[in-house]
Amino acid sequence: MPLGLALVALLVTGCPHNEYMVELKPQGNLIERTLTFYREDGVNTNTGAPNYQTFDADELAAIAALYPAQGLTSDGERHVARGEFNGALPPDVGGAGTYANLTTSLGEAGLYTERFRGDDDLAGMSERRCQAADRLVDLLLGWSRMELGQEPGYERLSQFLDQDFRRDLKNLGMYWCEGQLAGNYNTNASEEFAVRFGQYLVERGYYQVGESPYLFRAMYADDPHALLSRIQRLVATKMGVSETEPVPASLGFLAEETTMKASFDKYLTGTDAYQARLKHWEEDRKLKPDAKPPEPSEVVDDAVAILIGFDMFGHTDHLAVRLSLPAAPVHSNGRWEETLKQVVWDTDIEDRTEAAHFPFFCYASWAQPDETFQRAHFGRVILTGDELTKYCLWRCSLNAQEGGQWDTLLASLLPGSGLAETVDAFRFQGETESTESDGGQEVPSPSAYPRGLLKAALR
């Protein structure tokens, strides 16, 4: 909840970020791409226009290099890049994309896919989160040993931290990651995963459902003392102290924020990780005398940021993608706007320098029949949607000789009885009814698929 309130505050006050708007218009084998981009810090309340800031010069130059000469224009701090591309799309926003167009006499099919920023190495992200959880637990073990190592029941606490808490912290990272990923596709998913993990904590004894009102009140009222009292009791329980016994005096360092922070900082300053940061700062200070020494908490902050893939003070950019099509796509994860004849995607994306989240991904496939040709040769439009896409994929797989033979057949067809029979009688030159694979099994002849597709459509 405190994290959520902080995010709301950031949204209200605004923060500098980049805006990217990608407009795509397929034109046969080429796709026209227009990227409008700028940096803003909120909106002018009087005019409603963005409060423009200077866009990073290196990124501006990198984007310009991806487009044709004279393809980049600027109006003050608002920049527009235009170009036509075939196959690979420019990684202007950051990522990778492709465009494919398959044109045949019966119509054409198109496919657009693009990944924007992020990290799609799920195995690597999982490993890094687990390693971050291990570092955090190791720090907590060292801190607890410094404060409580001589206390009765410490071995029980140490075992809990090293085994159960280590596993639970890793599961927190996994839940957080899964919630972020699912949240890209379902607006309620992040909330559901948070509630799921709350249930996970209840089942493992971190708190009871009956305590929810008190925890809520403590967080809502920003009462750290109440929260720390709950942590004290949890630690005491893990040391074998029953709920009816008073909390041991040795846990007094957890009673107040200041004493807890002082204790933790004292431990952190003696760690190898902090000493390495301190040494690096001392080297930097030779060139930057005003450089501030590292805070002990930075040792923990880095691991927390990796564990949950989130930097509270990081930058979040915004992306909108619009793909213009003559009709709704056959398949897409975007939103179709009938009035504009566009597939639309809209999302926040992490800063170009970050790669802690699953990438944002756009895809759309479409098929546009050549109605004039199909009506002239079949009497009506028989192939649309998925069936037309499959046909285009098959037709574009033929070599020049095979393609010529098939197109000659189509050009000779006329509406009327016997059309399906004429199609079914077609064979490529030298084609047999079936062939044997290496395994001795029969496989269909090369013309079997399109003949079956057209015969089914002609019924």
Question: Is the model more confident about 9 or about 420?
Answer: 420
Assigned token pair, 430: 């030298």
What distance in Å separates the CA atoms of residue 154 and residue 328, rounded to the nearest whole number? 64
pLDDT score of 3: 34
- Each domain of the chain, given as residue ranges in start order, spans 2-117+315-368, 122-308, 398-458
Question: Is the model more confident about 27 or about 182?
Answer: 27
Distances (CA, A) of 42 to 17, 18, 47, 429: 9, 11, 12, 67
What distance in Å separates the CA atoms of residue 458 and residue 413, rounded to the nearest whole number? 12
Q: What is the torsional sign of CA 239, 245, 250, 251?
A: positive
- Lowest-confidence region among 133-137, 207-211, 262-266, 326-330: 207-211
The alpha carbon of 81 is separated from its chain's Cα centroid by a whole number of angstroms, namely 25
pLDDT score of 47: 80
For a pLDDT cut of 70, what percent of the chain falls above it? 86
Residue 12: is its pLDDT beyond 50?
no
Question: Is the model more confident about 122 or about 163?
Answer: 163
For a pLDDT cut of 90, what percent of the chain falls above it? 62
DSSP H helices, 257-384, are 257-269, 272-284, 298-308, 371-378
**Pairing relationship of beta strands 342-350 and 316-324 according to DSSP bridges:** antiparallel
Q: What is the pTM of this model?
A: 0.72
What φ, ψ does residue 457 adopt, rounded to 5°?
A: -75, -25
pLDDT score of 5: 35
Assigned token pair, 214: 């008190």
Residue 368: is its pLDDT beyond 50?
yes
425: helix, coil or strand?
Answer: coil
Question: Is the model more confident about 357 or about 229?
Answer: 229
Query: Is the separation of the CB atoms in 309 and 183 below 8 Å?
Result: no
Within 8 A by CB and 6+ apart from 285, the residues are 291
88: helix, coil or strand?
Answer: strand
Residue 289: is its pLDDT beyond 90?
no
pLDDT digits (tens, 9 = 90+) for 227-260: 888 889 899 999 999 989 999 999 999 988 899 9
Query: Is the separation of the CB atoms in 117 and 360 below 8 Å?
Result: yes
Mean pLDDT of all residues in 348-366: 84
pLDDT digits (tens, 9 = 90+) for 331-342: 999 999 999 999
pLDDT digits (tens, 9 = 90+) for 290-315: 889 999 999 898 888 888 765 444 45
pLDDT score of 311: 47
- Lowest-confidence region among 350-359, 394-403, 429-438: 429-438
What distance in Å separates the CA atoms of residue 166 and residue 416, rounded to the nearest whole number? 74
pLDDT score of 142: 95
CB neighbourhood size of 321 (10 A)? 24
pLDDT score of 174: 85
456: helix, coil or strand?
Answer: helix
What distance in Å separates the CA atoms of residue 110 and residue 29, rounded to the nearest whole number? 9
- The arrangement of strands across the sheet holding 107-116 comes to 87-89, 95-104, 107-116, 360-369, 331-332
pLDDT score of 168: 93
pLDDT score of 19: 96
Within 8 A by CB and 6+ apart from 306, the residues are 128, 129, 131, 132, 356
The confidence band for 442, taking pLDDT boundaries of 50, 70 and 90, is low
Within 8 A by CB and 6+ apart from 247, the residues are 232, 233, 236, 241
